[in-house]
Chains A and B, each alone.
Chain A
């Protein structure tokens, strides 16, 4: 057992002893009478099945209905969930988790290691057809890839219930951030008996059995999701909020209006409105870094336009986009200009020195013009490219701005607005020149970003194939200190420029003044209703 990991484990054990979890209400605070929390959902959540869900909003709800091995606290550090602690074998490939004995399902059955085994196998089983099956591959759980590909039975997956309260996981390579990945909703346990009884319909409010701090009481598609405090949750005693309600409002402006009218306790701020709201409601308007990056992917593969096969052109396009204007004048919500793909607030990540990040926009434009001229393009031989984005007001604005910013360089960007499914399908069939894309880290570690542009990645729609990049990513997976390798990968991205990093997200939202416990310092924004409470004003 290596010392580094051992310390982490001890810290966890200590955390349990001190009881530093759940709503951490200071003694001098008077709780409000009303402990209901109403939050905003942009869209209906397609599935409340942990292994089927793919959306961030879905995960938000699932974290309250189910509980995985570990949770995150307000700073993003791991705190015990169903697991109280774990040990790691000397070869760093076998994790043994000790599960708490007082964890029960909402139907009274105990939560056991077998429930995790069932859920994890279910995730990779081709019969489940989960879109997130690859997450288990990412976790490097033994045989995950083979099971997903249908070459092995799900039972071969490297996860085993030693006894009811001991779970053993074998991974293929040492993975320093493995425990961090267990916060993800797709690893949550699910009740086998219930699923077998009800099939796909087990997630309906009348059937669902969960092990989280809340239970699902109502779900009206297109209208609301309601969760009530669960008395069977092991830490119900310290759970303060009694009811969580997610209201579906498809229009961001409408959602803000209804927040201001007092119908919601939390809502996202539409682009451009933060400065005004921050002035008007300084105690409610909040902007904190969020672990997502926004980019324009370029199609550098076979079917892509000739011009984009030239790194000089790609660089010129990237230099030509004035990110400061985008974040300061259009989004205006504390987002930051991006010159690296990985969000700069990601734990343990430090951006390498990227030359053009330091230049002024004027320098970038000059350099871009030179590069384009070298490549044979310019105002007399204009470059025509199509930029596609999916239907959304904010994406539209950025695309328009980008096309105008590139115009002086003699680049004519034609905008293509597609709805999401068409956008995806065109990207996956390499039917694009440039396409908008964004990624939110599945966990707080740089690999969740950088893996995307490895040549074998299922997300690498621009077909950027680079051996040095692949090597760096491959090596980082087992490296004791992966940071230099991440930096190398980022440097390659800046040199080859297969994607144009545009900005790093900030979570920009309004939160009622009396709400406490929102994880402001956690870039993953993994909030748990059980950690929050309302104070009396």
Chain B
């Protein structure tokens, strides 16, 4: 999870040390990653979840919003998982097909996770690289600002944002992204500082290449490994955050749903004999999180090998 910052820094150091150097690092890493069983399992899980989210819709017998009047009102008795009714995962309390809803919820959760993590990474990288590259007083101010942002109770700000702008999925993306960019900015800045003194950057500077171009061409590419690791580990956090937001009822707007929303609905009714309403969404939720954790850990270990 995020607490692995110092490990990521280790990755960063290692990658930084070999910056500008050949492709053997990546080849090594790939080899190590492919040999890591947990990581490969994670990858397989993620592929499965992604396929489910993308193609599950083709198998659904019902849309995600249709009410099945045959089942409605007797969900505990008739709404269970069944091939006969076409509700493979059963139905929710309104008689809506849980399979279709889980597919759709997985899409939203993945989207929130991935886009949120991307926003955090892009913003954090640009911010950190700029601060590190420009240096001096700008750097001081920018990093002080990061310190300040770190102390903000984000969940509270996010709740405020959602209350203010209503249930907008864009706000959700940006909101969850905003929570996690600071740590990224710190790591990237540290790396940029150490890269700055390296000859290939100095050479670029000497030939008059403008700062932003140097950052984009020479600094950022050397940080891709760190970014990849950080992003992968960030995705599950984003998904967890979204699920909490959904629990508060501030999540995406019906008839859209997310895994978090489905789980919190399902968790409310566990005592009423409709366990499938919690079970199936939770299964995909857990699978997704595992997948990302394993792949993230695998990536980190692959890029930062230690003798085990």
Contact = CB atoms under 8 A, between A and B. Distances in A.
Interface of A: 251, 253, 256-257, 272-273, 276, 325, 328-330, 332, 391-393, 396-397, 399-401, 403-404, 415-419, 422
Contact of A399 (B67, B249, B254): B254
A393 to B, nearest CB: 7
Given A272-B93, A325-B69, A396-B254, A422 B272 contact: no
13 contacts: A251-B268, A272-B93, A276-B273, A391-B249, A400-B67, A400-B94, A400-B254, A404-B65, A416-B253, A417-B167, A417-B249, A417-B254, A422-B166
B221 interface: no
Contacts of B76: 276
A422 B73 contact: no
Contacts of B250: 391, 419
Nearest to B271: A257
B210 interface: no
Given A253-B268, A328-B73, 4 more contacts: A272-B93, A276-B76, A391-B250, A404-B65
A339 B269 CA distance: 31
Nearest to B264: A393
A7 to B, nearest CB: 47
Nearest to B93: A272
A391 B65 CA distance: 19
Nearest to B164: A422
Given A332-B73, A416-B166, A404 B67 contact: yes
Interface in B64-98: 65-67, 69, 72-73, 75-76, 93-94, 96
A418 B255 contact: no
A253 B269 contact: yes
A423 to B, nearest CB: 10
B105 to A, nearest CB: 15
Interface string B91-115: 0011010000000000000000000
Instruction: List 8 A-B pairs, minimum CB-CB distance, nearest first.
Output: A329-B73, A391-B249, A329-B72, A253-B268, A404-B67, A415-B254, A397-B94, A417-B167
A530 to B, nearest CB: 34
B247 to A, nearest CB: 11
Interface in B226-279: 249-250, 253-255, 265, 268-269, 271-273
B69 A256 contact: no
Interface of B: 65-67, 69, 72-73, 75-76, 93-94, 96, 163, 166-167, 249-250, 253-255, 265, 268-269, 271-273
Contacts of A393: 265, 268
B170 to A, nearest CB: 15
A401 B166 contact: no
Given A253-B271, A417-B249, A400 B255 contact: yes
A416 B250 CA distance: 11
Nearest to A329: B73
A419 B164 CA distance: 10
Given A253-B269, A416-B253, A330 B72 contact: yes
Contacts of A400: 65, 67, 94, 96, 254-255
A153 B113 CA distance: 60
A143 to B, nearest CB: 40
A325 B93 CA distance: 13
Contacts of B96: 400
Nearest to B249: A391
A415 B94 contact: no
A251 B270 CA distance: 13
A38 to B, nearest CB: 20
B249 A422 contact: no
A276 B65 contact: no
A273 B73 contact: no
B73 A330 contact: yes
A280 B170 CA distance: 46
Given A415-B254, A416-B253, A256 B94 contact: no
A29 B98 CA distance: 52
A404 B66 CA distance: 7
Nearest to B265: A393
Contacts of B69: 325, 329
A415 B166 CA distance: 12
B271 to A, nearest CB: 6
A268 to B, nearest CB: 14
Contacts of A399: 254
Nearest to B71: A329
Given A253-B269, A329-B73, A415 B255 contact: yes
Nearest to A396: B254
Nearest to B248: A391
A259 to B, nearest CB: 11
B279 to A, nearest CB: 17
B267 to A, nearest CB: 9
Contacts of A403: 65, 255
Nearest to B73: A329
A419 B163 contact: yes
A417 B255 contact: no
A421 to B, nearest CB: 8
Contacts of B65: 400, 403-404
A123 B211 CA distance: 68
Contacts of B163: 419, 422
Contacts of A418: 166-167
Contacts of A332: 73
Contacts of A330: 72-73, 93-94
A403 B67 CA distance: 10
Contacts of B273: 276
A401 B253 CA distance: 15
Nearest to A392: B249
A272 B191 CA distance: 58
A273 to B, nearest CB: 6
B229 to A, nearest CB: 37
Nearest to A253: B268
Contacts of A419: 163, 249-250
Contacts of B67: 400-401, 404
Given A253-B269, A256-B271, A417-B254, A397 B166 contact: no
Contact of A397 (B93, B253, B271): B93
A274 B194 CA distance: 67
A401 B250 CA distance: 20
Contacts of B167: 416-418
B210 to A, nearest CB: 46
Nearest to B272: A273
Nearest to A405: B67
Nearest to B72: A329
A418 B94 CA distance: 21
A417 B167 CA distance: 7
Contacts of B269: 253
Nearest to B167: A417
Contacts of A397: 93-94
Contacts of B94: 330, 397, 400-401
A95 to B, nearest CB: 46
Contacts of A396: 254
Contacts of A391: 249-250
A422 B75 CA distance: 33
A341 to B, nearest CB: 26
